[in-house]
Each structure stands twice: as structure tokens, then as C-alpha cells.
Amino acid sequence: MTDRRAFYDRRAASRPRESARYYHRLLQRYFAFLIPPGARVVEIGCGIGDLLAAVRPSRGVGVDFSPAMIDLARPRHPGLEFHVGDAADFSSPEPFPFTPPLSPTGGEGGRRTGEGESGRLRDHEEVRGEHGSLHEVFDYILLSDLVNDLPDVQAVLTHLHRFTHPHTRLVVNFFNHLWHPILSLAERMGSKAPTLPQNWLSTADMKNLLHLANWELVKMDTRILWPLQTPILAPLLNRWLAPLLRHFCLTVILVARPSLASWRIRNSPGQSLTKSSSAASFPLTLALSPGEREETLPHTETSHTSPSISAQRASPPLPEGEGRGEGEGRIQSEPKRRDYRCTVVIPARNEAGNIEDAVLRTPKLGLGTEIIFIEGHSTDNTWDEIQRVAAKYPDRQIKVLKQQSKGKGGAVREAFAAASGDLLFILDADLTMPPEQLPQFYEVARSGIGEFVNGVRLVYPMEDQAMRFLNMVANKCFGLAFSWLLGQSIKDTLCGTKVLFRADYEAIARNRSYFGDFDPFGDFDLLFGAAKLNLKIVDLPIRYRARAYGETNIRRWRHGWLLCRMVWFAARRLKFID
């Protein structure tokens, strides 16, 4: 049997030249688009580290089983950290240092604003893991062109859970098996780096392996139709045609997150944890198979870990009542329920007849429900009615705002800026989405099933006059277009009810410059931003009702044309990228 490590050690001298080829440069540009700068990133099978450097991590760690590759990577990228280790177990002759995330005030890390100092290392304090072990968690784990070369893909995917927190994203790219004969020919011609016998995995194979290893697929994309640098032809094929001919692209990219099942296993009753400063509030352990011995592993003081703030991806704030008291450092037999403070934002324009009903019908959620009415240049008495209702129900924590910008999108942004809740809801003032259904949105977000919950009107039967036929057709078409654009299934883009964590919204707002201020409705702005940050978007069917008061503010043809323009704009920013 071929010694794989010796093979890649012999190939190391040629790797800098091979890494400069057009295919690898395209891959580096796409990973840089996919991963926000400033994240904490580990790449398994990093080679000489060029891809890891391209994503501009705040902390970058590369692991490769070839000592010769690592010897090249260290001087090539002195700002990154590299270790020799095997992908299956990261066994290594050298000890790996463990460095936890710093607080946001330190410029890195995954600790939320306002979180206490417990669980953080003091300045210059260092904790080392076991000899030959990497005890650290990351925002992103990269496996680039590696799974085709692994002896046991499932074992490696399972092993990676020890480096995750609840919002870690695993990014895997691999060759499309349709390219097998072309790549074999290129290798014989010297146009491609030699490889050992490969696993030619289909997309279905990889999805199944992720599922078996307790990873949940977030989104999928395909890239590169022409891996050679050819003027005119390469940009035409790779930028404009590759998104339309996804089944024929050379590389398949999957983004996944740890599944809920993996966290249930990790936090199962009776699992003992040692008290230690680490970057996560859960045991950094594999999902154990039946009969496998449970080990004592590092643990931290917080109960919910987030990726780095500088990565523009933050976790929900620590819920009230979630701090550890006596007996900290051990998972309790009955995990505490995680609840959140909620803010329901109700943009209102010419909706005077619905204001009081909106208050009466909005249930109290979680640890408390704040209601924010934002009045948007009404021509009726909506503003006076909002003030009257707020004074009538002082126990409902009602805030009243008068919109300064234009459009529903502007109203939502202004209201979100004033919100105090951890979980943000948008509820249209026409009440066509019954407020009584808001607890369903809360449970989906609270449970972790979805990170962005999108209402869907197109599943259950509607009341008469709730939606015109042409509007329904257009909504279904937009849903198909967005599913293609975002790489996730989106059935209804324009349902007014959407729910996300405030920390995620703040990350979307910080990243808004990528798309610009283009969306007067606010729906696309949030969906595009959530997809760009690799959030898990979940559709939640609702019962759509006919309007009981007033008239719709939507102008079918004018706004329909505007939506088409926004789809094209988004396609250029998400799919047809350089």
C-alpha cells in the first residue's frame, strides 16, 4: 500500500507552483467570499496554507499530515499557526496550544457584549491541551479538496465535532465525479497535480455522510466550469454560465452546521465535565456511539457560545437564568430551558383600525415581550391611535416611534435599532398573519431548528381575497428564484413575518455595505444578509388571513417590477460573482 504521507512529502516542493494555478486562485476567491473576514478558522489538510490565508482569519490554524507541507506553510504565512496532524485523529508528535477566543473588546473572539469575565483567561495565560491534541473551537472548519483523498470520510466528519460551538460552520468542497475522466487526462498530461486513488463522491454521497456524522446541511453551491486561465472564455464560463449549469461544475461546495442531535448527545444527562477555561460551554467531544466510553473533557463557564464578533456572526445573548451557580462545571441531569426576551416590531401605515387588536392578540413570549410600533407617514389617524393604545396598555411594554426614513425596510431598521429584546419579530400591522401564531416562530428559533425563521403563506388554504391569483403566481416564482440564489429552500420571500436573533441582525447590518441600501421592503435585505452569513433559514407555514381593515400598501405592477430588479441585483452579488 502506498505511504500517503511520504507521497505528499515528496510532492511538497512542487506545491507552491501548483497552488498558483488558476483553479486554486478561483477557489481562494470563492472561499474569501463565503467566509466573513475576522473569523476563527481551522483548515484540515491545509497544505501550504494559501487557502487559509485567503479567508483573512482573526485566528487561523492549519493542520496537515505532511511535515514537509507544514515546513513550507510556516514561513510562507507567519501570521497563521500550523501543525502536523492526521485528519482522522489529529495525532501529532508536537503539542498543540489551546487559545480561547478573546472578548470583543480584545478584537477577536466569540464572547458576547455584556458577558461577565468568568471563563476567560487572564492576559498572557495559556492552556495547553493533551500532548498531540488540539483543544479549541472555531467559527469555520475548512475541508478543501480533502474528502476525495480520505480513507474514512465519516470518521473525520465525526471527529470534527470536538472543534465546534453551536454556530460553527463546516465548509467542504470536493470534485464533481463527472469530471473524473477529464481530471485523469489532465493529470497524465501534467496539467494537474498527481494524486493517489481518489474517492469519487457524488453530492448525494456527501450529504449522506454529513447526515451520518451529525452535520446538518445549510446550503450548497457549485463553481468553476473552466479551470484554465483563458481570456474572455474563463470569465464567461465561470462567472456567467457556471451558476446556470451547476450539475456540470468542477467543484461542489457544501456548508453545514452541527446538528441538534449532536448537541443532545453532548449534553446528555450524566456526562461529567472538568472545570476548565475553554472557548465553549459544552464538552468538546465526539458524538459518542453506543458503548463508547465517555471521557472527561474541557469545559467553560458560559452556556452558549458564539463565533467571533469580528466574523460578523454573533450568537444570541445569554438568556436570563442561564448562569451557572453551585455545581458549575457539570451538565445537570435536567438541562435548563433557554428562553429569550422578545421584541415584536409592527410597522404601521394607514392601519388605525388594527392597532389595538395587534396589542390584544400578540401573546407574551419567553422572558417578556416588548412591542414597538413604528408609524410610517400615514394619512389617517394611525399615529394618534398608536399613542392612545400605548397609554391604555402600560403593562405591555409598548414603544412608539415615528418613522424618519421611507418604506417598510427603513421602518424595520429604525425599530430594530431601538429594540431591547434578544429575539426580533416582524409583524405586519394588517394582521393577515395572525399574531396568535408568533409562539410557533419563537419555538423554532429558541430550539435552534432555525437561525432565521421565515413565514410562508403558500402552504395552507387562504381566506377569500387574502391574495390575488397573479400575486400568488409571482410569489411562487420569486420563491424558486430565491432558492436558487441563496442555496437554501425559500418558498415565500415576501411574507411580512420574519424572526431572527438581534445579534444576527446586527451582523447583517454590519455587512449591509456588500449589498447596499437597495430594498424598500426589508424582506430581501434580511434574507440576503442571512444567506451571506450562512445562517440556517427555515420556512414556517402560516394561516394567511384576509385583511379586516384598510387597503394594501402594495402596488402590484410597480412593486413587482422593483422586485424583479432586486432579484437581478442579488444574482450579481451572490451568484454571478467575479
CA torsion sign for 64, 67, 73, 78 is: positive
Domain coordinates of the chain in residue numbers?
Answer: 4-102+136-262, 342-574
Distance, CA of 98 to CA of 276 (rounded, Å): 12
Averaged over successive runs of 10 residues, the pLDDT of the chain (578 residues) comes to: 85 94 96 96 97 98 96 97 84 46 34 32 33 75 96 94 94 95 90 88 96 96 96 96 95 96 62 35 30 34 37 43 36 57 96 96 97 95 97 97 92 96 96 95 95 91 69 81 90 90 95 79 87 96 81 64 81 90
The CATH code belonging to domain 4-102+136-262 is 3.40.50.150
User: In what helix (H) or strand (E) does residue 44 lie, and over which residues does it extend?
Assistant: strand 40-44
**4-102+136-262 and 342-574 in the same fold:** no
User: What is the pLDDT, as a whole number, of residue 262?
Assistant: 73
What secondary structure letter does DSSP report for 466?
S
Q: pTM for this one?
A: 0.81
The rounded distance, in Å, linking the Cα atoms of 425 and 514 is 24
First-residue to last-residue Cα distance in the chain: 42
Helix (H, G, I), strand (E, B) or coil at 375: strand
Q: Which CATH architecture has domain 342-574?
A: Alpha-Beta Complex (3.90)
What residues form DSSP beta bridges with 217?
Answer: 256
Structure confidence at residue 268 (pLDDT): 55
| Cα(255)–Cα(451) distance, integer angstroms | 15
